[in-house]
Structure formats: C-alpha cells, structure tokens
Homo-oligomer: A and B are copies of this chain.
C-alpha cells in the first residue's frame, strides 16, 4: 500500500511539532537562571505586560486550560513571583498579580529574547513571514 500522504516528510504538522519542542528545549539554559520553565516564562511575559490577570484570561491568551495553569501558578506563587487572590467582586475569579520579586525579575529576563533569536537561523524577513503564517494558522483554528 503506497501512501505518499502518510510519509513523515509530507506532513506539515510534524516540523511544527518538532520545531516547537526543540525551541522550547533551547530556552531552558537561558531560563534556568530565572528559575523558570518555558511555560512559566510565557505566563510571566503576560504578567509583566498586564500587571494583573485572572486564570481564564491567561488561559485564553496562552491557549492553556486550568488543568495546566492551576498547578503552574501555585508553583510561581511558591517561588515568590506572583500572588493569587480571589477577586472581591466575583469570588469565582482568581486574580494573579506580580510580587515585587516577580516584577524585578523582568530586568533579568530582558536579555532572553535576543539570546534565543540568535539560536534561530532565520533572516529578519523569514522570521516575519514565519510569524505571520503561524498566526494565520492559529487564527484559522480559532473557530472550529
């Protein structure tokens, strides 16, 4: 049974999956001094921008659900980077905000993106094209 569409090299999903994993793995050495994993890092990226965010908002932005975020946020709290407090107006909502330590971590993180960019062997226009196409895929998936 000859099936070219089932060849690994003919899949678009596979380089996407592999590149994502490999890139994430390359982040580890740069994030270790910050005591962050990659997923914890992108949560901190949101908080450095927003200051305050509840779990569902984080989930929407990062494409993560509460089953991933709840334990992860507890770890960030244990590290002293964030606070978790129930919102007064709606006790169902858990508000996540930075501690002073979490805020000051931003300074140490400032060099991470440049370090990582140097790992990725793309020209500026190529990176831009890739970025655009990936968001097109993501947006196209939004409504199933």
Interface residues of A (CB under 8 A from B): 1, 3, 5-8, 10-24, 26-27, 38, 42, 45-46, 48-49, 61-63, 106-107, 109-110, 112-114, 116-117, 119-122, 126-127, 129-131, 133-141, 144
User: Does B15 contact A141, Cβ atoms closer than 8 Å?
Assistant: no
Please report the C-alpha to C-alpha distance between residue A134 and residue B23 in the assembled complex, in whole angstroms.
Answer: 11
* Copies of this protein, total: 2
Given known A45-B11, A119-B141, contact A63–B133 (CB-CB < 8 A): no
Main secondary structure of the interface of A (DSSP, over half): helix
User: Does A16 contact B23, Cβ atoms closer than 8 Å?
Assistant: yes
- Closest B residue, CB atoms, query A48: B6
